[in-house]
């Protein structure tokens, strides 16, 4: 019964490392940007936020309550008690269970896909990596890792200006957005325009801005690897899942590897992708897949993203092997 569904699922994603017309990194930039816009719009449209002033929780544009009307305790029979318990479960416990299940489910299916393709903080860290590389010739402020890209660009001034702009604008926008999950965004914008701040707005803007500056300048992907709870949950569930998305190396064609180290250099999580060993830090970003396709020709790369346990292309569906001439 599930055969055709599984086949379609496999066909759609299994070999996306081999068959794509748009680079994965370009697709990823679009998905990261789209998700940042969504995160920005959620409090603005009251889709999901708690208002600390009115003490109301908003969900999908409406104030969310337990659904208990005035005089709800008047019926003191067993049926009445059951009705209250059911309302409490449906409106208070169930939504939280669904919310808490999001990252385990995402991890079970996509591994750390969310981290690589959607997480706004991950996108900010990649931007920080890029600017640090342009300015200092390495991704980190502190030391250069052996697998980092070489950058001999000498036009530092535009990147220095971009870095300053980034350090001012992005933490401020991040502060407005995240504070908006607790205080109505229009109140925040009004206070910014009139430059007249309440303590809550000031604390939110300053606190979030300092957090974003410190993490993007000093910590970056170390936070993703060792601290982020959402990342750790996806890592754990992705690791135990037999079907999760993961990076795969074409073992059968490993002699085609030119040792160009493009894949190593592309990896901002400091993984050596062609080791063909699962690494729990891999965020399935596909940067190494792009790098290898660039070196060996589009569609001929040795790396790909795919679901499930099989490790090399010989276990991929026959039609894919035929298409890529890998029989």
Residues that bind ligand SF4 (CB under 6 A): 247, 257-263, 266-267, 269, 271, 273-274, 282-288, 291-292, 295-296, 302
Query: Which CB, 149 or 185, lies closer to ligand SF4?
Result: 149
Query: Which CB, 188 or 287, lies closer to ligand SF4?
Result: 287
Compute the distance between CA of residue 234 and CA of residue 114 in angstroms, rounded to an integer: 8
Counting other chains too, the contacts that 251-259 makes at CB distance below 8 Å and 24 or more residues apart are 251/276, 251/311, 251/312, 252/312, 252/313, 252/314, 252/326, 253/302, 253/313, 253/326, 254/302, 256/296, 256/300, 256/302, 257/302, 258/295, 258/296
Query: Which CB, 58 or 249, lies closer to ligand SF4?
Result: 249
Q: Is 15 helix (H, G, I), strand (E, B) or coil?
A: coil
Residue with tokens 């969900």: 59
Rounded to the nearest whole angstrom, what is the least distance from the CB of residue 267 to ligand SF4 in the complex? 3
Alpha-helix residue ranges (DSSP H) falling in 65-112: 78-88, 94-110
Rounded to the nearest whole angstrom, what is the least distance from the CB of residue 135 to ligand SF4 in the complex? 22
Residues with Cβ within 8 Å of residue 109, at least 6 apart in sequence = 241, 243, 244, 245
Query: Which CB, 51 or 279, lies closer to ligand SF4?
Result: 279
Compute the distance between CA of residue 26 and CA of residue 30 in angstroms, rounded to an integer: 7
Rounded to the nearest whole angstrom, what is the least distance from the CB of residue 303 to ligand SF4 in the complex? 6
Rounded to the nearest whole angstrom, what is the least distance from the CB of residue 242 to ligand SF4 in the complex? 19
Rounded to the nearest whole angstrom, what is the least distance from the CB of residue 116 to ligand SF4 in the complex? 6
């Amino acid at each position: 019964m599930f055969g055709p569904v599984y086949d379609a699922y496999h066909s759609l994603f299994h070999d996306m490392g081999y068959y794509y017309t748009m680079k994965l990194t370009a697709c990823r930039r679009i998905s990261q940007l789209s998700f940042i816009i969504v995160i920005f719009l959620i409090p603005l449209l009251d889709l999901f936020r708690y208002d600390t002033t009115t003490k109301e929780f908003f969900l999908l544009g409406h104030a969310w309550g337990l659904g208990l009307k005035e005089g709800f305790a008047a019926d003191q029979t067993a049926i009445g008690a059951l009705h209250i318990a059911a309302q409490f479960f449906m409106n208070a416990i169930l939504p939280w269970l669904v919310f808490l299940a999001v990252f385990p489910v995402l991890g079970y299916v996509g591994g750390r896909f969310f981290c690589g393709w959607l997480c706004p903080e991950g996108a900010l860290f990649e931007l920080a990596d890029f600017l640090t590389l342009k300015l200092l010739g390495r991704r980190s402020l502190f030391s250069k890792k052996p697998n980092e890209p070489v950058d001999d660009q000498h036009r530092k001034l535009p990147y220095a200006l971009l870095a300053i702009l980034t350090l001012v604008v992005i933490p401020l926008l991040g502060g407005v957005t995240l504070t908006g999950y607790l205080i109505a965004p229009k109140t925040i914008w009004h206070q910014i325009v009139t430059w007249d701040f309440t303590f809550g707005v000031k604390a939110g803007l300053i606190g979030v801005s300092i957090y974003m500056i410190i993490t993007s300048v000093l910590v970056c992907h170390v936070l993703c690897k060792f601290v982020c709870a959402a990342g750790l949950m996806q890592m754990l569930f992705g690791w135990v899942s037999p079907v999760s998305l993961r990076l795969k190396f074409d073992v059968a064609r490993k002699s085609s590897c030119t040792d160009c180290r493009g894949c190593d250099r592309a990896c901002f999580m400091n993984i050596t992708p062609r080791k063909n060993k699962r690494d729990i830090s891999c965020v399935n970003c596909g940067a190494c897949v792009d790098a290898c396709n660039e070196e060996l020709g589009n569609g001929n790369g040795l790396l790909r993203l795919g679901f499930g346990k099989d490790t090399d292309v010989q276990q991929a569906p026959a039609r894919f092997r035929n298409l890529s001439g890998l029989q």
